[in-house]
């Protein structure tokens, strides 16, 4: 308990070191890493993943495949759902509180109170931790974009992966899909192989191909996972993520085992990705299916719509909470026809959440019967327990839902 409180206080101090949450500039992190003797230079077999949707799922599939072939894996992802430690996994275990506090305090001392963003600090912590716990493979997921993302401080890479690209964070990456794709392609390095997941947008794909050509980076042909192979993650889109992961894994393991890969794909789990809540506190309020998904953009909504269309239930109740920089109407309209009634909730512990009334106002204008509620428990009490329930709108909301459910994220 003492270490958890100390970790919380340490993270709060890290937040205060820069007035902005997002401020693209790799020079701050370069200075810090130099003060730390550049631990990232010691990492081997770095696989760098960028994209709009599917980064976490792809990384999770890849991790399971590699571990099934007796390779040790360190992986850095974001955001976390319940505990910050989820961002840094060392050889299949969350980083320990004591280790994390020690590294953060070392970083704080070396940074000498200079301005630096929270994500830059967390990236530095992951790289330090990985350098002191050498693994066979290190997987890094970008936080936002690619070119100026903190994870792109790594130059020596083994493979670059681009997952599906769509419109998100346009205030930082640009309003045109070509601009967004160009930012993602910023992770490419000369002559380093590139794996590109299936892209729905031809302009995005063409931009990626041109960027790879300029860097003389070979685009590796995708090895598609057939849809008769059972995956641990729901949704037909996961075959695209699994295919990208498998293609990358084959570059690490040329003599890859089909049987081990099939087992690994089935074993893969990643919370809040069309996750069915089967146990925990939420089930006490429910007699029917409950699905939790962290979708928050139009591509994520399209995935949800595809999933809902294939289910036997004609209508679902909806619990939704979103950050106020996301377009609610554009998100919900894609799966609107599946919704019976919506319950709007705030995302706890953030000032950048839409209020329930703001969400309801927009949903009512769309013709959706909507009710503002205070929290998840109130929504569960009001929603028909015999009707299927979808909870979505934000990964941050998903984290609070899992915490309410007393889910343990490992």
Tens of pLDDT, residue by residue over 56-104, are: 999 999 999 999 999 999 999 999 999 999 999 999 999 999 999 999 9
Q: What was the pLDDT predicted at 4?
A: 81
Which is nearest to 193 in space by CA: 299, 361, 17, 48? 48
Residue 308 has pLDDT above 70, yes or no: yes
Classify residue 409: in a domain, yes or no.
no
Q: What was the pLDDT predicted at 287?
A: 97
Q: CA-to-CA distance for 8 and 363, rounded, in angstroms?
A: 36
Q: Which residues contact 148 (CB under 8 A, 6 or more apart)?
A: 24, 25, 26, 183, 186
Residue 2 has pLDDT above 60, yes or no: no
The total number of structural domains in the chain stands at 2
Classify residue 162: in a domain, yes or no.
yes
Residue 1 has pLDDT above 60, yes or no: no
**Domain membership of residue 338 as a residue range:** 275-404
Q: Are residues 330 and 208 in the same domain?
A: no
Q: What was the pLDDT predicted at 17?
A: 81
What confidence category does residue 16 fall into, taking pLDDT thresholds of 50, 70 and 90? confident
Q: What was the pLDDT predicted at 410?
A: 86
Classify residue 190: in a domain, yes or no.
yes
**DSSP-derived secondary structure letter, 43:** -
Q: Are residues 301 and 227 in the same domain?
A: no
Q: Are residues 320 and 206 in the same domain?
A: no
* Residue 105 near residue 11 (C-beta atoms within 8 A): no
Main-chain phi, psi angles of 319, to 5 degrees: -110, 125
Q: Are residues 223 and 324 in the same domain?
A: no
Q: Are residues 299 and 336 in the same domain?
A: yes
Classify residue 330: in a domain, yes or no.
yes
Q: Are residues 140 and 214 in the same domain?
A: yes
State the pTM of this model: 0.95
Of 267, 299, 330, the residue that ends a domain is 267
Q: Are residues 210 and 182 in the same domain?
A: yes
Q: CA-to-CA distance for 264 and 253, rounded, in angstroms?
A: 14
The residue to which tokens 């910023």 are assigned: 186
Classify residue 410: in a domain, yes or no.
no
* Residue 165 near residue 204 (C-beta atoms within 8 A): yes
Residue 21 has pLDDT above 80, yes or no: no
CATH number reported for the structural domain that contains residue 232 in this entry: 3.40.1190.10
Higher pLDDT, 88 or 350: 88
Instruction: Read off the tokens for 260.
Output: 């081990």
Mean per-residue pLDDT, 35-60: 97
Instruction: Specify the 3-state DSSP secondary structure of 246.
Output: helix
Strands 88-90 and 73-76, bridge-based pairing: antiparallel
Mean per-residue pLDDT, 269-293: 97
Q: Are residues 345 and 248 in the same domain?
A: no
Classify residue 50: in a domain, yes or no.
yes
Instruction: Specify the 3-state DSSP secondary structure of 139.
Output: strand
Q: Are residues 148 and 218 in the same domain?
A: yes
Residue 15 has pLDDT above 90, yes or no: no
CATH number reported for the structural domain that contains residue 339 in this entry: 3.90.190.20
Q: Are residues 233 and 285 in the same domain?
A: no
Q: Are residues 282 and 174 in the same domain?
A: no
Q: Are residues 208 and 190 in the same domain?
A: yes
Classify residue 228: in a domain, yes or no.
yes
Of 245, 267, 289, the residue that ends a domain is 267
Of 201, 232, 267, the residue that ends a domain is 267
Sheet containing 137-141, strands listed edge to edge, beginning at the edge strand earlier in sequence = 93-94, 88-90, 73-76, 137-141, 46-50, 159-162, 194-196
Q: How many Cβ atoms from other residues are within 10 Å of residue 251's Cβ?
A: 15
């Amino acid at each position: 308990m003492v270490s958890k409180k100390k970790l919380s206080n340490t993270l709060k101090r890290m937040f205060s070191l820069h007035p902005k949450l997002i401020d693209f500039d790799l020079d701050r992190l370069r200075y810090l890493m130099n003060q730390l003797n550049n631990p990232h230079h010691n990492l081997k077999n770095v696989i760098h993943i960028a994209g709009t949707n599917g980064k976490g799922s792809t990384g999770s599939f890849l991790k399971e495949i590699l571990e099934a072939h007796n390779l040790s894996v360190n992986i850095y992802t974001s955001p976390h759902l319940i505990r910050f430690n989820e961002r840094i996994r060392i050889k299949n275990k969350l980083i320990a509180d004591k280790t994390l506090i020690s590294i953060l305090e070392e970083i704080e001392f070396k940074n000498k109170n200079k301005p630096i963003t929270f994500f830059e600090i967390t990236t530095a912590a992951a790289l330090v931790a990985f350098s002191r716990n050498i693994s066979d493979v290190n997987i890094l997921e970008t936080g936002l974009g690619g070119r100026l993302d903190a994870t792109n401080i790594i130059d020596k890479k083994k493979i670059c992966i681009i997952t599906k690209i769509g419109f998100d964070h346009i205030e930082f990456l640009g309003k045109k899909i070509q601009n967004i794709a160009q930012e993602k392609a910023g992770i490419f390095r000369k002559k380093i192989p590139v794996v590109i997941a299936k892209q729905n947008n031809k302009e995005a794909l063409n931009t990626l191909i041109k960027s790879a050509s300029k860097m003389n980076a070979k685009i590796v042909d995708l090895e598609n996972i057939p849809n008769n192979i059972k995956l641990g993650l729901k949704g037909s889109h996961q075959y695209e993520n699994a295919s990208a992961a498998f293609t990358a894994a084959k570059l690490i393991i040329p003599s890859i085992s089909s049987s081990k890969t099939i087992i690994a794909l089935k074993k893969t789990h990643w919370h809040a990705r069309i996750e069915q809540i089967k146990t925990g506190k939420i089930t006490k309020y429910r007699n029917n299916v409950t699905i939790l998904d962290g979708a928050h953009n139009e591509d994520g909504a399209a995935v949800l719509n595809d999933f809902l269309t294939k289910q036997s239930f004609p209508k679902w109740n909806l619990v939704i909470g979103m950050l106020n920089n996301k377009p609610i109407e554009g998100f919900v309209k894609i799966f609107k026809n599946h919704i019976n009634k919506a319950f709007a909730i705030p995302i706890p512990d953030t000032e950048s959440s839409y209020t329930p009334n703001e969400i309801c106002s927009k949903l009512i204008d769309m013709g959706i019967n909507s009710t503002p509620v205070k929290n998840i428990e109130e929504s569960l009490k009001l929603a028909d327990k015999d009707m299927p329930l979808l909870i979505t709108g934000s990964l941050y909301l998903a984290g609070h839902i899992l915490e309410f459910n007393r889910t343990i994220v490992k």
